[in-house]
Each structure stands twice: as structure tokens, then as C-alpha cells.
Amino acid sequence: MEEQFMKRAIRLARKGIGYTNPNPVVGAVIVKGGRVIGEGFHEAYGGLHAERNAFKNCTEDPQGADLYVTLEPCCHYGKTPPCTEAIMEHGIRRVYVGNMDPNPKVAGRGVQILREHGIQVETGIMEEECRKINDIFFHYISHETPYVALKYAMTLDGKIAVKTGESKWITGQEAREHVHTLRHKYAAILAGIGTVLCDDPMLNARVRGGNNPVRVICDSRLRIPLSSKIVQSAKVIPTIVAACERTKKAEKLEELGCRVLICPEKKGQLDLMELFRALRKEKIDSVLVEGGADINDSVIRTGAVKKIYTYVAPKLFGGKQSRSPVEGEGIERISDAVMLDGPEITKIGEDLLLEYEVR
């Protein structure tokens, strides 16, 4: 029974994915006499928390009811008053919690306050499933870098382009559409200047009602063309051009709506770790890297990458000169490999999506 209602709360929470960053996604279900009498989720950043939405949607008096919530109720005054107060005011008898809230402002005190007021609290209900929907939040709240994920599409022989450089399209229509749901989930999308010069992409999230990620272009020498689609749309979609020095062109880019962010250089290249730190300071909780072979290698070597999404197309390209997803210098020993856990496998149209966690 407990699992059944928590599962429902998780399903509700998932509806908030992409809309709540950098806050968590949270779902809540109110149950009385074995029946659901109210439910809600955290719908958007700055909006009501899941618990308060569930109370708002109650069809009966929740006095004496049980509350199922995927994340420990908050006990702090943030953009909204503490949920612990709403729970006590409505006379909830018992609270079932998925995850404890790692936010230092809460961190166990939400549960403690409820118990001190005579409310029975059970914690750790479907903990792992609840944690999974908030992988970004859990990382963000306790690190000085965002949650970084890498995404690429390749053929079964591990190529991301044919030898002439042509790379459109590797995967089928459905997989390409799926990428847009990823872009919607992440607060920022990172690409290198090479990708902009080669493909002139938009890097937006083309899903109905979806949120566009902030576009971050790694462009140490400010080579991005003023006529590129990204620069031309920078007044509508937030765009950061990360460079190592401010040249005259920076002003022109700013006039067109870009933000030019100056990052330190490391071994002749833009220091990606410093870029990640700067993004985190601006409350960007997650970055999806959609780069080419070189930037993919550079971000992996920062150690900041937590997740890899690989789309595999049922095709073979062959060719020594056809590029692969991660290039750079490479390692000398197998024991130096970046190790991954997974995969979680989903078939999307004719392609496979493999999701790995970096160990």
C-alpha cells in the first residue's frame, strides 16, 4: 500500500522535470481511509511546494489523513512558508517520506519538527526511486559544480561522422526528438565553437511547452559568427559565450544579446572546471554537453561528468578518419579508463539509448 501511494507521488513529481531547476522535483499524495483525497507536485521554480499544491487540491478535509511525499517536507521560510506548518495546520496524522532533504536548511529538521508535534513519520519509502528523479538536485545542493552529462549519437562501430565530416543524421527521427526532452531537463547546454562553425545549430528544446536551456558556447578566441543562428536568437534564448579574453567582438556579441563570460586559461585552453564553477554560481544546476570529439574529451578529463547518454544507430561507417565520440590524447593503460555503471537501455525507434553513470 505504502509503495503504491509513493509510486503515485513519484509519477506526479516527474511532471515537474525541467521546470523546477535548480529546485528539486517533488510529488505529494494525501490519503484518507485508503483513498486519495488530494495530490500535487512542485510545478515550477518559485511556485508552491508539492505539499501545498496537494492541500490546495484536496476534495475532502485532510484532518487525520496520511501524506506521502517524495522529499522531506521543508521547515524553512524560502519563497514559500515551511511545509511542516501546512502539514500541522491541516491535522495530518502520518507522513511517509521518500528521501531526506540534503539541503542544509532542512537536512532532517523537517522530520524532527513533525515528530516533535506528535506526527508519525516513516522515512526511506522507495528511497532509491525517489533519489533517481532528483539526481540533478542531489548533486547540485552539495557541490560547487553543476551536474554535468554528456550526450552523443554514434554508429555501432563508434563513429559520430563519416570521413568527409558529414554527421547529419546518425540516428532516426524518434531518437532526435528524444534529445529535446533531455535538453528540456537540463538547465544549460554546452557546445564547442567547432560545432557552431560546422553545423550552425540552434541548441534549443523543441518539445511542446518545454523550457529552453541556457546555451553555453565554449569559444576561447571569440570566433562565433555574428550571423550564426545562436547569436541571432540570443535575445530570445539566454546565451553565454565563454572566452579566455575580451576582444572588441565581445561588445558586438553583447549588443546582439549574448553574455560574454571570461574564464581563465589552462594549458592554452579554456578552463572548463572554472566555467562549470561560474555556471554553478549562477544557479545553473545542470549542463548537458553536446560537443564534438575534442570537447567531449576535455569535459571528461575535468572529472565533472556524472552521466553519459549514448544513442546507438544500427549503422556502420568504418574509416580511420571518421571521428569517434571521445578523442583527445587518449590513455596509455586500460587501467586508466573512465569506468561507468549501467547501462539502462531503452529502444527508441530503430536506435538504442544507453544511459551510464560515471563511477
Tell me the CA distances in angstroms from 154 to 67, 160, 202, one per residue in order. Answer: 45, 5, 20
d(CA 161, CA 155): 9
Closest CB to Zn ion among residues 49, 178: 49
Place of cell 570537447: 295
d(CA 96, CA 9): 11
49 to 68, contacts with Zn ion by CB under 5 A? 49
Which entry of Zn ion, ligand AOF, none binds 23, CB below 5 to 8 A by partner kind? ligand AOF
The grid coordinates of residue 13 equal 513529481
Which entry of ligand AOF, Zn ion, none binds 71, CB below 5 to 8 A by partner kind? ligand AOF
Closest CB to ligand AOF among residues 79, 235: 79
Closest CB to ligand AOF among residues 90, 151: 90
Closest residue to ligand AOF: CB criterion: 78
Strands 94-99 and 120-122: parallel
Q: Is 293 known to sit in a ligand binding site? A: yes
Q: Is 123 known to sit in a ligand binding site? A: no
Is 51 one of the annotated active-site residues of the chain?
yes
d(CA 315, CA 229): 30
Place of cell 534529445: 179
Q: Which of 21, 84, 99, 103 binds ligand AOF (CB under 6 A)?
A: 103
Q: Which of 9, 83, 224, 284 binds Zn ion (CB under 5 A)?
A: 83
Closest CB to ligand AOF among residues 101, 219: 101
Q: Which uninterrupted H or E stretch holds 153?
A: strand 147-155
Q: Is 324 known to sit in a ligand binding site? A: no
The grid coordinates of residue 233 equal 536568437
Q: Is 83 known to sit in a ligand binding site? A: yes
Complete edge-to-edge strand list for the sheet that includes strand 214-218: 259-262, 239-243, 214-218, 188-192, 286-289, 147-155, 305-313, 351-358, 340-348
The mark string for 24-53 relative to ligand AOF (x by CB under 6 A, - otherwise) is: x-x---------------x------xx---
Q: Which residues are catalytic?
A: 51
Please enumerate, by residue number, every residue annotated as part of a binding site: 49, 74, 83, 153, 167, 169, 183, 195, 199, 203, 206, 220, 290, 292-298
Contacting positions for ligand AOF (CB under 6 A): 20, 23-24, 26, 42, 49-50, 71, 74, 78-80, 83, 101, 103, 106
